[in-house]
Structure 1
Amino acid sequence: SKCNNGFDRPTPVNAFSKGKSPFKVEDLVGNVWQLVNDVYDNGSYYFGIIRGGSYYKPTSSWWYVQGGPQSLDRTQMLLMVSPGFDRNATIGFRCVKDAE
């Protein structure tokens, strides 16, 4: 599924409360890339793996991650400036817990 909700920033929490799952989970599809793996170092640069799309669409270079609506199974490499996580308003992550 692709999300292109028209926001020009990250979607506010509870923006689509009518879209709850049967398990009362909200905001399963957002408009920021999902960080899905750790940061890697190949000796030349650091990068993280992200999935999906984002509201943000960089236009200056193909070196940047391609934004806009993307399939959730699409993954891309995000170049990092340092071994630590860079601050980035266009990337999110999910906290999950096993059902009991």
Structure 2
Amino acid sequence: MFSLQASFLPEGEVRSPGQIYYESLCFKAVNQSIGKAIRHSKDYAVLILADHRYSRPNSISSLPGWIAIHFKVSANFGPSLASIRKFLSMRK
């Protein structure tokens, strides 16, 4: 799974309860989508989360642990595409 890296919240900035609530709803939907793509232990998929907010440490920690350990953040799409090719070629 990949995310394009962008700016993080400035240090010390606090999110409002509303932001936290909507982020929670978003991650519930993201986690459900991941579950639809990967249904069993021998299944695999490539998911691209192209919103800079997914590169934040608190966002990555909101993903299931078995996804978070494989999560990669890229500043550009080129390196992501190379990693995807490598991942898929290993599964052939």
TM over 0.5: no
TM-score of the pair, normalised by structure 1: 0.25
Bigger RCO (CA 8 Å, 6+ sep): 2
| Structure whose residues are more often helix by fraction | 2
TM-score of the pair, normalised by structure 2: 0.26
